[in-house]
Structure 1
Amino acid sequence: MEVAAYQPYIDPDYDSFIERIYPAKVCIDNETCRDCTLVKVDSANKHGILLEMVQVLTDLDLVISKSYISSDGGWFMDVFHVTDQLGNKLVDESLIHYIEQALCATRRAGLAKEIQGSSQRKHFGPRHMSSEHTVLEMTGTDRPGLLSEMSAVLAELECHIASAVAWTHHDRAACIFYVEDGVRTGPITDPRRLAQIEEQLENVVEAHHAKGERRSVRLTGPMAGQTHAERRLHQLMFADMDYEQCRCCGHSCCGDGGGRGGYEHRKGCEGAHVSIESWKDKGYSVVNVQSRDRPKLLFDTVCVLTDMQYVVFHASVSSEGALANQEYFIRHRDGCTLDSETEQRKLTQCLLAAVERRASHVCPQSNSSFSYTSRGD
């Protein structure tokens, strides 16, 4: 006789239910610090909430000079020290209102309606996120002329590129095109046409690939809640395993040169360094990332930790001159720490890749980024 196995039922609205009972508290403080604005967030905790917060601030081109994070138990508390690109405090009331609303999950739907069609939509909304376009994703070997050839094929097939983002890292490339039907205007929904476009683009990507080399071309129709484009680029390059070539620079400042143990940046060294240590008494793995400071650095590292299913319980992030220091106290989502050398090595490589992908001055290998938005969009 078969015995039925029962699984506990978890209401899919549970997270939002908790948020409605304990709504996030967001405080924009311009009084405490002389040279920056403090953005303080207290909220019910959930996986990925840190990335959500950082993503909101990053999309506004705000500079995060320091951050203190704590999420032990069921509550998340964070303090961000932020300025605008010129190093000024945030004084624009409409910007402050947007941040207060955007950092609170229960208010986001209302906020989206509020800025829909307004003059502020171009300045404040999420970037490269669309439920109105067909999305083309590609990964493969980087080579001169690749994006140009793909764009030419799309133009020949009467597809209009509304916007595009692309990264290259080492010899790998990843790009996302947001495409409209150039004839009928709007997303491309005909399955046969989608298959034709995908086939033509696969031929372009495959043309210069050696047999057995990794490559991928994928078209998807419009859908609600699409992943943030730059986070998606991290995911695409991670799936393409671009991180396999990443190593610390090998200088004595790296400890053992493999990203483990203590380290200090040697003068003149611009390489990124990662160390992972075990804090057994508290049950944490402690991850230290030291690199040249740059915009969106925090977003890039938190993307990797979140997508690799690590939970950040405490963190401290700061920049001193040209250098940025990030310290994370983490566990895997299943509660385990990083005990094996294989796990530590993979996380080290992935964090180094996250630092390198966006900024060409960090890594001596080929590495660049590209972004395009049609003026008619």
Structure 2
Amino acid sequence: MDDEYEKFIRRMNPPRVVIDNESCKNATVDSANKYGILLEVVQVLTDLNLIITKAYITSDGGWFMDVFNVTDHDGNKITDAEILSYIQKSLGPDSWFATSMRRSVGLTSETDHTSIELIGSDRPGLLSEVSAVLTHLKCNVVNAEVWTHNTRAAAVMQVTDELTGGAITDPEKLGMVKRLLCNVLKGSNKSREAKTAVSHGGTHTERRLHQMMLADRDYERMGDDSFDDKERPSVNVINWNDKDYSVVTIRCKDRPKLLFDVLCTLTDMQYVVFHGSVDAEGPEAYQEYCVRHVDGSPLKSDAERQRVIQCLEAAIQRRVSEGLKLELCTTDRVGLLSDVTRIFRENSLTVTRAEVATRAGKAVNTFYVRDASGHPVDPKIIDYIRQTIGRTILRVKGSPQEMNKVPQESPTRFLFGGLFKSRSFCNFSLIRSDS
């Protein structure tokens, strides 16, 4: 019944998407407001690998309006008619979002693959052990995303049954996959839980990784912190008592999907963004938001404020890729991921993040690796690994640079200053409900 009511409201107040490629590089989205809609819009843009350089966000009287300045990765305007049409269809009147907010961790069987969600204690060689188990069980990894943060590791892996080329349908085999992977994830760490379970429905991989790691409390400080003070994002939260808002300000080194990562956490923590401004045109990204809890209140205690700060720091750091970037491109086969990660492990390299994809029979994989003992990666080891795997198959793409901190400013200064300055860049207006 609730879904039917939401559909009725959406038909009565359809969202409108305006793309202006003449005066400036921006897209404007306005519609009836609903919880989570801002994240849904940003998710569509980031899934297209578009770069959001500026954003202005406001919601009032049941309506919301967002203005996004977007480019491709080379800084050019988006002129591809197919992409522009997709944006309008995805965000316009005919769209219907059914974003999954599932909290369970497990296996999702679909027609062409089975999605495996894993979370447990991180350690050198973990990805190698997981992929070795899947290979032993005659499962092929066709797509995967692996994140590590604060001694924890999470993965969403899409696998197929080697015998059928499709999803794993044998209940006994599914049970074996869960049991063996859970044993690998537990390792010798008895104090933190490892999870594998069965669930149903589609999933957005990066969205799920944020949900899984937040639920796992990866934001709590444990052991050695991989980020020192100069590298940690600057996150501040104050209450703006005159307006009953809490003002969240973030400044850190810019990177793709930073806005998506921040909004995932604010949404999952049940906060609503009423007004905001984002500037990522330089090497540093600046974000400021006026937020309230879904119950309409600003942050109520210092403990809540500290938790929001910790969770936002974690959301930003999860995707920060420490180490050397290696790209592998070759013909896909069963056991490829297991073989490659075994070579990494045997040469004392640990994977801090991985993206595994299969396109038209080709494996296109990206690994971020570092020395398992914490030392800089030895170029001789990388050269040996490339020689073993194939120099044309495995290529070195470099390592991330150090983040530079910038001076603090007033928490509200950028938000309103940015709104006024934006008029010289593109038009900004507010759509209100007649009611």
Equivalent residue, structure 2, for 1:218: 197
Q: Secondary structure at the match of 1:346?
A: helix
Q: How far 1:107 moved relative to its partner? A: 3.4
Q: How far 1:130 moved relative to its partner? A: 8.8
Q: Secondary structure at the match of 2:219?
A: helix
Q: How far 1:106 moved relative to its partner? A: 2.5
Contact 1:160-1:182 within 8 A present in 2 as well: yes
Q: Distance in 2 between matches of 1:182 and 1:242?
A: 34
Question: 1:71-110 residue pairs with structure 2 within 5 A?
Answer: 71-104=59-92, 106-107=94-95
Q: Distance in 2 between matches of 1:271 and 1:367?
A: 21
Q: Distance in 2 between matches of 1:196 and 1:278?
A: 51
Contact 2:50-2:70 within 8 A present in 1 as well: yes
Unpaired runs of 5+ residues, structure 1, are: 1-9, 110-128, 252-268
Q: How far 1:136 moved relative to its partner? A: 1.1
Equivalent residue, structure 2, for 1:185: 165
Structure 1 stretch displaced more, 44-53 or 212-221: 212-221
Q: Which amino acid aligns with 2:211?
A: Q
User: Among 293, 306, 310, which residue is 1:332 paired with?
Assistant: 293
Task: Quickly say closer, same or farther: Cα 1:179–1:319, change in 2 above 3 A.
Answer: same
Whether 2:280 is the aligned partner of 1:280: answer no
Task: Quickly say closer, same or farther: Cα 1:322–1:248, change in 2 above 3 A.
Answer: farther
Q: Distance in 2 between matches of 1:17 and 1:308?
A: 27
Q: Distance in 2 between matches of 1:160 and 1:367?
A: 19
Q: Which amino acid aligns with 2:260?
A: F
User: Among 256, 262, 270, which residue is 1:295 paired with?
Assistant: 256
Unpaired runs of 5+ residues, structure 2, are: 98-107, 324-349, 363-435
Equivalent residue, structure 2, for 1:142: 122
Equivalent residue, structure 1, for 2:274: 313
Equivalent residue, structure 2, for 1:359: 320
Q: Which amino acid aligns with 2:303?
A: T
Contact 2:121-2:189 within 8 A present in 1 as well: no
Equivalent residue, structure 1, for 2:208: 232
Q: How far 1:211 moved relative to its partner? A: 2.3
TM-score (norm 1): 0.80
Contact 2:237-2:249 within 8 A present in 1 as well: yes
Q: How far 1:90 moved relative to its partner? A: 0.9
Contact 2:53-2:69 within 8 A present in 1 as well: yes
Whether 2:141 is the aligned partner of 1:161: answer yes
Q: Distance in 1 between matches of 2:115 and 2:206?
A: 14
Task: Quickly say closer, same or farther: Cα 1:326–1:194, change in 2 above 3 A.
Answer: same
Q: Percent identity?
A: 50
Q: Distance in 1 between matches of 2:190 and 2:87?
A: 49
Whether 2:346 is the aligned partner of 1:373: answer no
Contact 2:150-2:226 within 8 A present in 1 as well: no
1:212-240 CA deviation, whole Å, 9 max, x = no partner? Answer: 2222123445x3xx231101111111111
Task: Quickly say closer, same or farther: Cα 1:188–1:361, change in 2 above 3 A.
Answer: closer
Q: Which amino acid aligns with 1:27?
A: V
Equivalent residue, structure 2, for 1:345: 306
Q: Which runs of 4+ in 1 moved over 6 A?
A: 246-251
Contact 2:232-2:313 within 8 A present in 1 as well: no
